[in-house]
Chains A and B, each alone.
Chain A
Amino acid sequence: MDVAPALEQLLQDSSQVERAVVLGSDGKILGSTLPDQVAAETFAQHARELIAVAAELRSSDGDVTRVEVELAEGAVFVIHEGETTIAATTGPRPTPGLVTYDLRTCLNALADAKPKRRRATNKPKDEGKE
């Protein structure tokens, strides 16, 4: 599934997610639900900042897989799986488990759509002749 339909599906499935952006391994935006590119880039920048701050909270190295900040005015979720990151906002008092599940489902849909490596089927013609 491409990023745009996956995000559309996310907004349909989740009544809590308001905005979302998907980032690639290089941090570039792969897709977003925001109306324009500038807003998407600003939101993506804040998501990257959240991951950076979360990584600094621990002395030892370790990739951040999830950041979840619930505030009175709303909540922000960032999920990182494999090479893809998704960041989303919700209104106040979300159900964190459900939001996380919906975001992971979206990431899984994107991961399933990626072309898998084909196993080499061509064997050397000389093999087995000797």
Chain B
Amino acid sequence: MRRLIRLAVLIGLAVWAWRAFMGRREPGERAGVSYADGSAIVLEPSSPGFERLASAARAALGS
């Protein structure tokens, strides 16, 4: 039982440490599009279409 508790605490600490130290390094890039019919999509950097939106947005930010 003690081993299980130790394991759970260790896993919890590992998850917290990962999110605290690695999560902050992510730039938090994302894109969202809403349509008139009420539908919406969210694009993460890995999803197709994100880079097209991102390049247009980068151009807008740099203009």
Contact = CB atoms under 8 A, between A and B. Distances in A.
Contact size range, B: 20 to 34
Secondary structure type dominating chain A contacts:
mixed
B56 interface: yes
A118 to B, nearest CB: 28
A54 to B, nearest CB: 4
B61 A62 contact: no
A37 B4 CA distance: 67
Interface string A71-85: 111111000000000
Mostly, the B contact residues are mixed
23 contacts: A43-B63, A46-B60, A50-B60, A53-B49, A57-B41, A57-B43, A58-B41, A62-B35, A62-B36, A62-B37, A64-B33, A65-B35, A66-B32, A66-B33, A67-B31, A69-B56, A70-B28, A70-B29, A70-B30, A71-B29, A72-B28, A73-B58, A89-B60
